[in-house]
């Protein structure tokens, strides 16, 4: 067992220098209409089942018996589909000042009905469109979350959490990858203020790719000047999000704002702060609500410098807007954002749902029904 542990640690440090940039980027998109509308500023303030993605520590704040959430988003005029499903189950605790929760979530980003043209030509050189078969390219992540409160006072709460994730990626019959990694999170709530830290891929996340092509497909790739992929190991370096949020209520009106700072460690990126090994990018969001029934949200994120045809540099940002409706145990959120962040606009629609289950309410309703 000691040799296995030493081997894993050695491999992690050795792969640090071999890590690929932009690996597993589907896990950096963000989930939930609320967070997407707020520019993906969510690690400090999210304490519902969507925290299973943003910051595992936040699921310790779920107060109902169980909570479910679902999101669907469409990219590039519906070509790409992004879905998220999760649930959180608070564990009964003997100590009143300690809360514990477990959760599970699934993420899928896929492009379906991609035409496979590798068999387009017959042996005699003629084109046969009947040979075109559609396939899908899809990325999956399965996350197992745990969180608990470390300390709960009259005005302050400290949550800690983490998750283990399994990655599965498949490109038709040609390639597939499996991988694993770990995330870690902290949240500290003091009166109207919240601080959050989400550490992603803290041990490096590994994807082992396996490629399978027939001899005819390899020949087609060679003739058309394409490289034939070989089995390989893809490594995702750690990245971190630090957030601070402030919220307050003025009668029936509520206000929340959050500022997050995302830091990548896989090399220089086109971000607001860009260095040789580290890149940092802020995101900022606002939320107003009336009696926790109607929500209005806005945010900005993804700061990038671009050069136009006149060789003039400009900064572009990704704006977002959204609304939400809450009624007792149900909340529906919608976000509208331009995911392209370029002059060629590509708007995305995000719809998400959150459901609270209060078993005590159902028991009371059932007993009342029996008495009647």
Q: What are 190's two structure tokens?
A: 């003091």
Domains of the chain: 2-371 (2.40.160.40)
| Contact of 135 with 173, CB cutoff 8 Å | yes
User: Residue 301 pairs with which residues in a beta bridge?
Assistant: 318
| Contact of 280 with 261, CB cutoff 8 Å | yes
The pLDDT value recorded for residue 189 is 95
- What is d(CA 4, CA 7) in angstroms, rounded to the nearest whole number? 5
Which runs of E-coded beta strand occur in the chain?
66-75, 80-91, 100-116, 133-152, 156-171, 175-190, 193-200, 205-211, 232-236, 239-250, 253-264, 273-274, 279-290, 294-307, 313-327, 330-338, 347-357
In tens digits, what is the pLDDT along the chain, a chain of 372 residues?
Answer: 333 333 333 334 334 435 566 778 889 989 999 999 999 999 999 999 999 999 999 999 998 899 999 999 987 777 889 999 999 999 876 566 678 999 999 999 998 888 877 666 666 667 666 677 788 889 999 999 999 998 877 788 999 999 999 999 998 888 899 999 999 999 999 999 999 999 999 988 988 988 887 777 777 777 777 777 778 888 889 999 999 999 999 999 999 999 999 998 877 777 777 777 788 899 999 999 999 999 999 999 988 777 767 777 777 888 999 999 998 899 999 999 876 544 555 678 899 999 998 765 544 444 445 455
The pLDDT value recorded for residue 125 is 64
The pLDDT value recorded for residue 94 is 56
User: Residue 101 pairs with which residues in a beta bridge?
Assistant: 90, 147
Its pTM stands at 0.83
pLDDT in tens, 306-326: 776 777 777 788 899 999 999
Give 179: exposed, middle or buried? Use CB within 10 Å, 0-12, 13-18, 19+: buried
User: Residue 195 pairs with which residues in a beta bridge?
Assistant: 188, 244
How far apart are the two ends of the chain, measured CA to CA in Å? 63
Report the candidate in 270, 198, 180 with the shortest Cα–Cα distance to residue 239: 198
- What is d(CA 269, CA 297) in angstroms, rounded to the nearest whole number? 28
Specify the 3-state DSSP secondary structure of 359. Answer: helix
Q: φ, ψ for residue 248 (rounded to 5)? A: -160, 160
């Amino acid at each position: 067992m000691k040799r296995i542990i030493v081997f894993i640690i050695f491999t992690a440090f050795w792969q640090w220098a071999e890590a690929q940039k932009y690996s597993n980027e589907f896990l950096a998109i963000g989930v939930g209409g609320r967070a997407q509308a707020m520019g993906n500023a969510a690690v400090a303030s999210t304490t519902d089942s969507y925290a299973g993605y943003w910051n595992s520590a936040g699921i310790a704040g779920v107060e109902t018996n169980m909570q479910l959430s679902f999101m669907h988003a469409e990219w590039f005029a519906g070509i790409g589909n992004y879905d998220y499903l999760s649930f959180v189950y608070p564990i009964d605790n003997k100590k009143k000042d300690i809360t514990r929760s477990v959760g599970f979530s699934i993420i899928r980003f896929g492009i379906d009905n991609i035409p496979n043209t590798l068999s387009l030509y017959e042996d005699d050189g003629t084109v046969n469109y009947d040979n075109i078969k559609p396939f899908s390219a899809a990325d999956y992540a399965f996350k197992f979350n745990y969180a608990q409160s470390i300390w709960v006072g009259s005005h302050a709460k400290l949550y800690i959490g983490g998750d283990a994730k399994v990655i599965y990626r498949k490109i038709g019959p040609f390639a597939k990858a499996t991988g694993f990694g770990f995330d870690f999170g902290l949240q500290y709530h003091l009166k109207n203020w919240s601080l959050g830290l989400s550490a992603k891929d803290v041990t490096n996340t590994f994807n082992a790719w396996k490629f399978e092509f027939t001899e005819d497909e390899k020949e087609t790739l060679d003739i058309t000047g394409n490289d034939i992929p070989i089995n390989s190991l893809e490594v995702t370096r750690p990245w971190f999000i630090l957030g601070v949020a402030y919220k307050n209520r003025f009668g029936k009106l509520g206000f929340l704002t959050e500022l997050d700072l995302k830091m990548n460690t896989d090399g220089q990126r086109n971000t607001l702060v860009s260095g040789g090994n580290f890149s940092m990018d802020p995101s900022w969001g606002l939320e107003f609500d009336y009696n926790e029934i109607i929500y209005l949200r806005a945010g900005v994120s993804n700061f990038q410098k671009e050069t136009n045809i006149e060789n003039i540099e400009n900064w572009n940002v990704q704006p977002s807007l959204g609304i939400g409706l809450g009624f007792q145990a149900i909340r529906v959120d919608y976000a509208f954002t331009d995911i392209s962040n370029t002059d060629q606009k590509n708007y995305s629609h995000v719809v998400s749902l959150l459901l609270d289950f209060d078993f005590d309410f159902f028991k009371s309703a059932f007993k009342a029904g029996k008495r009647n």
